[in-house]
């Protein structure tokens, strides 16, 4: 008999197929099989740690290694509950899973601007493919959207109700507009097909395991300070960001996935800093001899950004625990260790 499911708008949708009976067999110890796209990246690999450490999940990572690395997952490679697939999400993927964390997308501006057409394909076709998979196997799917959907915001702090101020034809649009379309696709699949969706709007996140030459501000400043280079504060330096430590972010994503709310929900640390203040903090907490200079900025850089996290507090019982003062030294310890082994041949991409 065909069962039916009703979504939050009261729309009747065809229920997804039940998992195969073998999934319930006594040979399977895992309660849940989870796909993490982009799981070889910075946030994705920390999320994989969290899912694997529970001991009750099978985790499949699909990643094309554009900005991620097998090295981030080396502790799990060979584990019977873990699989790593080299896969580009712009192509279809068929795996039987219960949950999909869809992170695959370059996140650092120098990486997403490197091949903008590919970035928008990843956001649009990649999200369509993952929604198609969710529909086919009846999985719940979580999209890691971004604070960049608010563009250069005219409201401050940003609540989820704010529709944003985004340049549709600028150099950041492949990412910003790509994520906005990805959100649209999530909600259309939810309304039209009854797919269980979760949408997180992530604000700037930092921590151990970021690419040393990732290009984002926290990794740049720490790497520059530790290498004895001058920190590059992009003009004017008074622009603000709110920085969330990665373990807090992973906790928020996990709660959102396993809670009852579709979102979109802002996840981020509301502590707000100018880039000049961030450079001063790196100097104070990590390398007192560090210096900085003002350099040219890139187009459409948002002038301020700070999440209103009232919804996350109320609906997920979540708020960040680690302050920037606590998180920066933790990240610096990881960078110090990795810089010892860093080969000079690994050159950063040009902005």
Ligand X SMILES: O=c1ccn([C@@H]2O[C@H](COP(=O)(O)OP(=O)(O)O[C@H]3OC[C@@H](O)[C@H](O)[C@H]3O)[C@@H](O)[C@H]2O)c(=O)[nH]1
Active-site residues, by number, are 175
Cβ at position 221, least distance to ligand X in Å: 7
Q: Which listed residue (107, 246, 249, 265) binds ligand X by CB under 6 A?
A: 107
* Window 169 to 188, contacts with ligand X (CB under 6 A): 175
- Minimum CB distance to ligand NAD smaller for 180 or for 194: 180
Angle, vertex CA 112, rays to CA 254 and CA 40, nearest 5: 40
What is the chain's alpha carbon radius of gyration, rounded to the nearest angstrom?
A: 20
Nearer to ligand X, 130 or 218 (CB): 218
Q: Which of 43, 110, 137, 250 binds ligand NAD (CB under 6 A)?
A: 43
269 forms part of the interface with ligand X (CB under 6 A): no
Binding mask of the shown chain, residues 49 to 88, with x at each position contacting ligand X by CB under 6 A: ----------------------------------------
**Closest approach of ligand X to the CB of residue 147, in Å:** 5
The residue with tokens 């609540």 is 159
Complex with ligand X: residue 39 or 138, whichever CB lies closer: 39
Task: Map residues 205-244 to x or -, x wherever contact with ligand X holds by CB under 6 A.
Answer: -----------xx--x-----------xxx----x-x---
Give the 3-state DSSP-derived string for the chain, with helices as H, strands as E and coil as C.
CCCEEECCCCCEEECCCCCCHHHHCCCCCCCEEEEEECCCCHHHHHHHHHHHHCCCEEEEEEECCCCCCHHHHCCCCCCCCEEEEECCCCCCCCCCCCEEEECCCCCCHHHHCCCHHHHHHHHHHHHHHHHHHHHHHCCEEEEEEEHHHHECCCCCCECCCCCCECCCCCCCHHHHHHHHHHHHHHHHHHHHHCCCEEEEEECCEECCCCCCCCCCHHHHHHHHHHHCCCEEEECCCCCEEECEEHHHHHHHHHHHHHCCCCCCEEECCCCEEEHHHHHHHHHHHCCCCCCEEEECCCCCCCCCCCECCHHHHHHHCCCCCCCHHHHHHHHHHHHHHHHHHCCCCCCCCCC
Per partner kind, with CB cut-offs from 5 to 8 A, the member of ligand NAD, ligand X, none near residue 322 is none
Positions in 133-162 near ligand NAD (CB under 6 A)? 144, 146
The residue from 72, 127, 147, 211 that contacts ligand X (CB under 6 A) is: 147
Q: Of the ranges 19-27, 83-91, 257-265, 281-289, which one interacts with ligand NAD (CB under 6 A)? A: 83-91
Q: Does 297 bind ligand X (CB under 6 A)?
A: yes
Distance CA 110, CA 107 (A): 9
Q: Does 167 bind ligand X (CB under 6 A)?
A: no
CB of 70 to ligand NAD, least distance (A): 10
Q: What is the smallest separation between the CB atom of 143 and ligand X, expressed in angstroms?
A: 12
Binding residues for ligand X, per CB under 6 A?
107-109, 146-148, 175, 204, 216-217, 220, 232-234, 239, 241, 275, 297, 301
Name the residues that contact ligand NAD, by CB under 6 A.
Answer: 37-38, 40-44, 63-68, 88-90, 103-107, 122, 126, 144, 146, 202, 204-205
């Amino acid at each position: 008999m065909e069962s039916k499911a009703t979504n939050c708008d009261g729309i009747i949708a065809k229920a997804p197929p039940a998992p195969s009976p073998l999934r319930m067999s006594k040979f399977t110890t895992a309660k849940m099989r989870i796909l993490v796209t982009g799981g070889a990246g910075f946030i994705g690999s920390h999320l994989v740690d969290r899912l694997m450490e529970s001991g009750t999940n099978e985790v499949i990572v699909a990643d094309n290694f554009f900005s991620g690395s097998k090295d981030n997952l080396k502790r799990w490679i060979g584990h019977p509950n873990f699989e790593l697939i080299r896969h580009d999400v712009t192509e279809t993927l068929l795996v039987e899973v219960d949950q999909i964390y869809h992170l695959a997308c370059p996140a650092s501006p120098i990486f997403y601007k490197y091949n903008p057409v590919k970035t928008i394909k990843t956001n649009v076709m990649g999200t369509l493919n993952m929604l198609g998979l969710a529909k086919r196997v009846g999985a719940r799917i979580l999209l890691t959207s971004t604070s960049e959907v608010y563009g250069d915001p005219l409201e401050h702090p940003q609540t989820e109700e704010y529709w944003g101020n985004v340049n549709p034809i600028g150099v950041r649009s492949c990412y910003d507009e790509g994520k906005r379309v990805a959100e649209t696709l999530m909600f259309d699949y939810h309304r039209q097909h009854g797919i269980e969706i979760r949408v997180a709007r992530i604000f700037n996140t930092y921590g151990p395991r970021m690419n040393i030459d990732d290009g984002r501000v926290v990794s740049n400043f720490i790497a520059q300070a530790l290498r004895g280079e001058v920190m590059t504060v992009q003009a004017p330096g008074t622009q603000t960001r709110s920085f969330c430590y990665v373990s807090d972010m992973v906790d928020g994503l996990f709660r959102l996935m396993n809670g009852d709310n579709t979102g979109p929900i802002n996840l981020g640390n509301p502590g707000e800093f100018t880039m000049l203040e961030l450079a001063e903090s790196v100097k104070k907490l990590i390398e007192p001899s560090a210096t900085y200079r003002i350099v040219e900025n890139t187009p459409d850089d948002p002038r301020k950004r700070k999440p209103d996290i009232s919804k996350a507090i109320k609906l997920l019982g979540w708020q960040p625990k680690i302050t920037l003062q606590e998180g920066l030294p933790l990240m610096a310890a990881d960078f110090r260790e990795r810089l010892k082994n860093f080969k000079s041949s690994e050159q950063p991409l040009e902005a």
